[in-house]
Structure 1
Amino acid sequence: MTLKFADAESADQALPLVLLEKDALAEWLGGQSAATAAWVRASGFEAALGTALLIPGEDGAPKAALAGYGDAAARARGRFHLAGAAAKLPEGVYRLETDLTGDALANEALGWLLAQYAFDRYAKASGIKARLVAPDGVDGRRLETIAAGEALTRDLINTPASDMGPDALEAACRDLASQFGASCDVIHGEALLEQNFPMIHAVGRASAEAPRLIDMRWGKSGPALTLVGKGVCFDTGGLNLKPGASMGLMKKDMGGAATVLGLAHDIMALGLPLRLRVLIPAVENAVSGESFRPGDILTSRKGLTVEINNTDAEGRLVLADALAYGAEESPDLMLSMATLTGAARVAVGPDLSPYYSDDAGVVAALEGAAARVADPVWRLPFWEPYEKMIEPGIADLDNAPKGGFAGSITAALFLRRFAGEGLRYTHFDIYGWQPTVAPGRPKGGTGMGARALLDALPEVLGL
């Protein structure tokens, strides 16, 4: 789906759209004609957040529109507020009139683009029909690029596993690589064992579609960035079978892969001066006679042994082999993104992207970027005292510590064991799903943390 601003040729015919805070409404009305002021008052428009109103001219046709921007307290409780008003406007082209500048203006313009999205692969659907002329002072091309990356992520997550298994996820990676002249190598099936990716193979071997490791590379110079995304295309839980209610959303268990692909799209489309590598272990955690079992002990690519105490803690297993592989090249920065634990969702909910990093430079850059681009993150700790919780004694590591405490933290600590000593490593434990409709964010798959990372990378990597 293409999310674009209105053509420049439409600007002259665009309807003025005045963005008004509640406190500014009275002053604005004082500068209007008696007829316009009467119409606005009679319509009950109070510039509340997310409201909109068309103003008729003498011929009855709209001559302008208003969008409510509420007050600071109301705006603090959400984001992409202009998109909420845009959803109430009829189809047409609008030109924004506002005092907003800088990041605030760019975020509202981006929200409008994102509100155009709808997942229409299986049934007719559409986002908002109102189109916006790119406001003066924003980088329209950059915002359209970011919107395209988000649309890619949403499409991949929203597609059910019947059409987004490991084969289709590989095809999506190859399509993206072809679009930007990147390379894409894939290790399939039994070759995973031959080339020492035993845990990716173990998790995915029960599926009708072979497990694989996707390895995409782009860029010839600059610092090296490796993105690792969890690509569990469907998660039954394996032999520790999930109940039906928990399995219903498991098409989104490749949300980490979808998010790193959206971020990779943005990096390549914007031409960031770096060397990009994307590693995606793509599997389905299915049930058959080939399934790995509770009590099994697997030997990872790194040589660490892992006791399987729950086959539903499979994401960290496939990521572990991919992280160990990525660390062998000692990139300047390695990031993993995964829909890894329910504990993270319970801790911070679906709005925040929880992440783990002990790198002060990464943390400072990421927190600043998240605030600038309205992509909120929340730092959780690599809490050293919990290391003993992931050491079962019978093997080096436990994939599912008993007791239920600190599930997201112990998963992050598990992954850190494979990310290389001294390597700059940050892990995101995202939800990847918008459970209710919100401005710029329809219900369904959603990217989390990618925009903040994109904005932070120049500072982190010295670009």
Structure 2
Amino acid sequence: MNLPTGFVSDSDNALPLYCVQRTGFDDWRKAQTPAIGQWIDAQTFDAASGSLLLLPGDHGIAGAVLGIGDPLDPFAYAHAPHALPPGDWVLANDLADDARNALQLGWGLGSYRYTRYKQPLRAPARLVLAATAADAETFALLDACLRVRDLVNTPTQDMGPQQLEDIAREIAQAHGARIEVIAGDELLAQNFPAIHAVGRASHRAPRLIALRWGDDTHPHVALVGKGVCFDTGGLDIKPADGMRNMKKDMGGAAHALALAELIMARALPVRLTLLVPAVENAIGPDAFRPGEVITTRSGISVEIDNTDAEGRVILGDALVYAGEQAPELLIDFATLTGAARIALGPDLPALYSNDDTLANDWLTAGAQARDPLWRMPLWRPYWRYLTSNVADLANSGPSRMAGSVTAALYLERFVPAQQKWAHLDVYAWNDSERPGRPTGGEAQALRAVYAMLKARFS
């Protein structure tokens, strides 16, 4: 297999790397030579999580010790590629298979830099990994996470609705999937009025991207991803600081595309439908306006209270279309609300579901994969915040209370009553640089949802 950045299959000059937990450090320290022991003591090194110590030799660096925390957490190792000097490194102590997989995944995540427009100042250290030791599923997971990062990091001039379509077509071609795209005014002809309304002001036509793959006899899984390629806020325009990173508002589409690609690459025995409503929420003479009423695909009329609550509007049409196909599971991903970030911060996606088993399975998989998420309530009394005097409901309301909950409730209105459904309100972004988490796009709960689907359908 081709190894990604940060890995090499063989090296004559690799230095030994020891991955040591703080709890086992004393035993490891006692096994070292007196000279190395004295050096470790002089550095007051204790293998704390996220630490690293270079070991001296007669001709320079003789090796290194990587302090790790939870050995099953990929990010316990992710500081290594840029903390170590460039060059080749080989694991010098034993790790269990699941910890070794976490090391490989974490090393790949830590090696990542977005390079389309700017080359990194230095190359990451490389982990020697013979092809026989490389875990194919681990690297498929890594590819999916990096796919999300690349898609979200790409600025809108190079990642508009057409480019999302192009990428979906490339993925479909690579895996023998079928693809259909409904664009521009054809959205009205085929009854996707909400997607059309949000995207009609842009010079780049709105569209619904539909990818289908798999055996008709397998369980049907539908994925929906919010593809707002840039969000000005529309006529309810965002302030400058709120608009600055809105290239990431297609982060839900990035997650759905990457998950679909992962499912196909690993040949998960499901029948897959992927739907991405792709638009740019622009300002122009034909922009949709506050106070307008849109009759959606389902026939539900929606009063536009705020044009900056556009993601839920386009998702409504896509969720109805997915529900018409009666999948066994319906899952959507969306960078939907700032309220979820206020509630849970940037690292914890907010999970909503109408099915306890589905939600609990995803939470359990997240805990096992060290890919966290947090369940939030579909508290239906909060429907009162989406009341409209002229339509069946409003897309927003004057109250700032429970913004993430009300957004999820809005989406639930477009899901069939008996349909098993989960919604992930995801940030898809790192605000600041951390080991293994460079500033910019981020995949969140993606490994967890794949593990959940694999456990359910394998």
Following TM superposition, by how much is the alpha carbon of 1:9 offset from its aligned partner in structure 2, in angstroms?
A: 3.2
Which residue of 176, 190, 195 corresponds with 2:190?
195
Q: Does 1:405 align with 2:406?
A: no
Percent same amino acid at aligned positions? 45
Aligned to 2:305: 309
Judging changes above 3 Å, is the alpha-carbon distance between structure 1 residues 24 and 2 closer, same or farther for their aligned structure 2 residues? closer
Measured at CA, do residues 402 and 79 of structure 1 come closer, stay the same or move farther in structure 2, by a change above 3 Å? farther
8 Å Cα contact 1:119/1:126 also seen in 2: no
How far did residue 29 of structure 1 move? 2.7
Is residue 94 from structure 1 mapped to residue 89 from structure 2 by the alignment? yes
Q: Cα distance, 1:352 vs. partner? A: 0.6
Aligned-partner Cα distance in 1 for 2:355–2:171:
30
Counterpart in 1 of 2:252?
Answer: 256
- How many pairs were matched up? 456
Q: Which moved more, 1:120-129 or 1:258-267?
A: 120-129
Task: State the Cα deviation string for residues 197-256 of structure 1 (Å, max 9, x = none).
Answer: 000000000001000000011112411111000000000111111111111011000000
- 1:131 — aligned with what? 126
Gaps of 5+ in 1: none
Counterpart residue number, 2:157: 162
Q: Which moved more, 1:368-377 or 1:17-26?
A: 17-26
Contact conserved, 1:206 with 1:287, CA < 8 A, in 2? yes
Q: What secondary structure is seen at the aligned counterpart in 2 of 1:334?
A: strand
Question: Do 2:6 and 2:124's aligned partners in 1 also have CA atoms closer than 8 Å?
Answer: no
Aligned to 1:266: 262
Give distance in 1, aligned partners of 2:357 and 2:455. 8
- CA distance in structure 2 between the partners assigned to 1:177 and 1:360 by the alignment: 32
Pick from 176, 181, 188: which aligns with 2:176? 181
Displacement after TM superposition at 1:128 (Å): 5.7
1:51/1:68 contact within 8 Å kept:
yes
Q: For residues 294-327 of structure 1, what are the alpha-carbon distances to aligned partners after superposition, in whole Å with 9 as ceiling and x for unaligned?
A: 0000000000000011011100010000110111
Partner Cα distance (1:122, 1:8) in 2 = 28
1:131 CA displacement: 1.7
Residues 361-395 of structure 1, C-alpha deviations (whole Å, 9 max, x = no match): 21221111101111101000111211233232321
Answer whether contact 1:115 1:128 (CA < 8 A) is retained: no
Corresponding residue of 1:215: 210
RMSD: 2.2
CA offset digits 1:150-209 (Å, max 9, x no partner): 111111111111111111111111111112121111001000000000000000000010
Amino acid at match of 1:184: I
SS state at 1:233 partner: strand
In structure 2, distance between residues paired with 1:180 and 1:133:
30
Q: TM-score, normalised by structure 1?
A: 0.93
What letter corresponds to residue 360 of structure 2 in structure 1?
Answer: A
Contact 1:5–1:144 at 8 Å: present in 2 too? Answer: no
1:59-138 alignment, distance < 5 Å? 60-69=59-68, 80-98=75-93, 100-125=95-120, 129-134=124-129
Within the alignment, does 1:367 sit opposite 2:363 as a pair?
yes
Partners of 1:365 and 1:318 in 2: how far apart? 28
Normalising by structure 2, we get a TM-score of 0.94
1:52 and 1:86 in contact (8 A); partners too: no
Alignment check: 8 A CA contact 1:149 1:263 kept: yes
In 2, distance between residues paired with 1:257 and 1:384? Answer: 27
Does the CA contact (< 8 Å) of 1:3 and 1:114 recur in 2? no
| Correspondence 1:226 to 2:222 | yes
**Matched-pair contact (CA < 8 Å) for 1:204–1:284:** yes
Tell me the amino acid that sits aligned with residue 25 of structure 2. L
Gaps of 5+ in 2: none
Q: 1:240 to 1:272 in 2, by over 3 A?
A: same
Is the Cα contact below 8 Å between 1:52 and 1:68 reproduced in 2?
yes
**Corresponding position of 1:277:** 273
CA distance in 1, matches of 2:388, 2:156: 34
